[in-house]
Amino acid sequence: MTSVGGARWTSLIGLLAAASAAYGQIIKEGPVPDPVAVQPILDVAMQSPAICRGPDGAYYLTGLTGDGVSLWKSADLRTWAALGPIWPGKVVSPKIHFIKKTFYIPYSRDGFGCGLLKSESGKAEGPYRDLGLITPEGRSLSLFEDEDGAVYMALGEGWIARMKDDLSGPAESPRLVMPKSGSDLGNSPFTVGRDGAFLFKRKGKYYLVCSEWTSRTGYPVHDAHVAGADSIYGPYECRHMFLAHGGNTSLFEDEKGNWFATMCGDDVRARFRNRPAIVPLVWAKYELYWARGGKIEFPFKPMYVITERGVWDQLRPLTQDCIRDISVLVQGDYVYYTGSVYAKRANYKVVLFRFPLKDISRVARGQADVEMRTIMEFKDIPWLDLENRMKYGVGKRGQPGETLISSMDTKIHYMNGTFYMTFALYNMDGFAGKSTLDDGKTFTWGSGILRSKSGTWEGPWESVARGPYSHVGLRQDQQGQICFLGRLGKHVLQADNTLVQVKGSEKEDALVPAGLDGLAFGDDGPALGSGEWNGAASLNIEGRPGSTYDKAVQFDPVKGFLPPYPRPTSIMSHLSSAKEFSDDKGRWWHTFFGNDSTAPWFERMGIIPLTVRQKGKETIIDIADEWPQD
């Protein structure tokens, strides 16, 4: 018997059994599950792993190894018995199925047609007979038997056809599945994927799975997508990316009704390379951010199940408070951080967190606590008309929302021997563009500057000034002036605590990074980064659902921040709108909060270690694969 990662697989099974499907949803209140990394079930080099459940209740795994198509058997998905090579021929994408009381293995000849192996004994072990090519072209063939006994083939990027009764070939011309366009019409794909078609049925609904190579993380990655329909020929609803790094996969159900997918990790960002693994799935109708919901549930990998390389499974949220758009400052012996905080204990307040710098490794792994301090309550901000803000302000859905009662894009700074904080109170729809209802005495929205009068985080703190816009950053210019930088340019803080707009330097006006060679980067505020790195927030694949909220890093050691910017030397998954920093041992770290469906959680503060290395004249930055030594 052979098994690898059995304890981790047991942990995944336990989480799935103990948790409801809500564990796979976006959790905005309460604790999030600890991340768990998917591990290979066998230490065998393999491509195209596929699993089906046989009539005896056992699970059968096939995969392409150095010996051809090989077979394993398991009673519990934890321990696997090798049954040896069952087909030595040179084939691609074999997938085992139990259909019409025997086992079949469709295969591809890498684009030059697809064929079918049939077990002559009715057992998974075979022996198998090659029925020959059943399609003259195409690749990634799979089979599906419906409840009425009809058998269908699925091919390539989503061609479907009913098979002849003897399975010698299609009984009709194949039809290409084209899923419904989503709300992101310009970015909606024409097909479910590009390869690896796989059909299955659940609760009377049909599902087509395909894979596709994209640059979602800035590197080539091989993800799996799914679309559902009431009829096998469609129409199919919008596609959803359900398994990051899943590649050509197969799905199956266990005896308890749990669903799983196979993967082998065949891209550079996958957790492992070319080893078979099983990923638990949950079901939902909606995706994060994009209004692509439908009537049909679709499967997807829970956020806490990690299929991506890096030490994500070792991280723990610093607190369970929802937070995004992280600002971090290392000052003295402490790390201070803040952001847009959506937490009941932070409602109607500007808050700040801190922890000892020496504890960073323990804090990042949930082994030490952080402190939270209320810096100022909304009712104490002299320029804020809180009563009318709450009376007239509404959120995006016509109701008071989180951005109404939370300080947004809050940032922490240390200048001239004391702490400063900036924050934004967004304009709400109900104000109809009006910032003041009393001729400028008070305001219902805007940005503010707070300052510690004692030079410590304990304060007391004072409200210094109000700015006319959000997404701001506080900096000192070459003249030592404290400047309020934002989308409307440079404002200098005067001695009387007023802000006066002035002409910024070329460097100060370069707030929106722009890549060369057709690369485009979205700006989520003036994300200038530090003196070493220049970061820009970006959702890859033009903001398409299933994107990753990445940070692209560009730096020119001669021109610094001055545009035009060079091509990015590094793209770091999930780290946009957050900040890098180094500790007292020279190790580099990066904050993140989780803003895409492939992150380990949603809107919780996390810290992940980085690796920094030189490649010629370029500085290459990446997420660490191993935890740094203390």
Q: What is the pLDDT of residues 101-127, one digit of tens each?
A: 999 999 998 778 999 999 999 999 999
pLDDT, mean of residues 523-541: 35
pLDDT, mean of residues 45-62: 97
> Which has more confidence, 614 or 127?
127
Instruction: Inform me whether the pLDDT recorded for 553 exceeds 60.
Output: yes
The domain locations on the chain are 45-248+288-299, 313-623
pLDDT, mean of residues 26-44: 89
Instruction: Inform me whether the pLDDT recorded for 41 exceeds 90.
Output: yes
Label residue 544 by pLDDT band (50, 70, 90).
low
The region of weakest confidence among 5-19, 367-381, 489-503 is 5-19
Q: What tokens does 149 get?
A: 């006994």
The rounded radius of gyration (Å) of the Cα atoms in the chain is 27
| CATH superfamily, domain at 45-248+288-299 | Glycosyl hydrolase domain; family 43 (2.115.10.20)
Q: What tokens does 501 get?
A: 């707009």
Total residues found in the chain within this entry: 630
SS3 assignment, position 205: strand
Q: Are strands 305-306 and 36-37 parallel, antiparallel or unpaired?
A: parallel
Question: Do 264 and 224 contact (CB within 8 A), yes or no?
Answer: no
Percent of the chain with pLDDT over 90: 58
Q: What tokens does 140 get?
A: 């990634």
Instruction: Inform me whether the pLDDT recorded for 209 exceeds 90.
Output: yes
- Max intra-chain CA distance, the chain: 91
Arithmetic mean of pLDDT over the chain: 84
As a whole number of angstroms, the distance between CA 625 and CA 386 comes to 47
**CATH topology identical between 45-248+288-299 and 313-623:** yes
Token pair 């810096």: residue: 375
CATH fold label, 313-623:
Tachylectin-2; Chain A (2.115.10)
- State how far Cα 543 lies from the chain centre: 12
pLDDT at 455: 97
pLDDT at 398: 47
Percent of the chain with pLDDT over 70: 80
As a whole number of angstroms, the distance between CA 305 and CA 312 comes to 10
pLDDT at 393: 73
pLDDT, mean of residues 377-386: 94
Beta strands in 332-398 (DSSP E): 334-342, 349-356, 371-377
pTM (predicted TM-score):
0.88
Closest by CA to 24, choosing from 225, 382, 284, is 284
As a whole number of angstroms, the distance between CA 463 and CA 452 comes to 9
- What one-character DSSP code corresponds to residue 270? B
> What backbone torsions phi and psi does residue 548 show, to the nearest 5 degrees?
-120, 135
Question: Do 53 and 43 contact (CB within 8 A), yes or no?
Answer: no
The region of weakest confidence among 213-217, 283-287, 466-470 is 466-470
Label residue 557 by pLDDT band (50, 70, 90).
low
Partners of 2 in beta bridges: 80
As a whole number of angstroms, the distance between CA 561 and CA 554 comes to 9
- The identity of residue 287, as a single letter, is E
As a whole number of angstroms, the distance between CA 435 and CA 141 comes to 61
Question: Do 353 and 377 contact (CB within 8 A), yes or no?
Answer: no
SS3 assignment, position 410: strand
Label residue 383 by pLDDT band (50, 70, 90).
very high
> Which has more confidence, 479 or 233?
233
pLDDT at 529: 33
Instruction: Inform me whether the pLDDT recorded for 395 exceeds 60.
Output: no
pLDDT at 165: 95
Instruction: Inform me whether the pLDDT recorded for 228 exceeds 80.
Output: yes
Question: Do 367 and 332 contact (CB within 8 A), yes or no?
Answer: no
As a whole number of angstroms, the distance between CA 260 and CA 13 comes to 10
Contacts 24+ apart (CB under 8 A), 14-20: 15/280, 15/304, 16/258, 16/280, 16/282, 17/256, 17/258
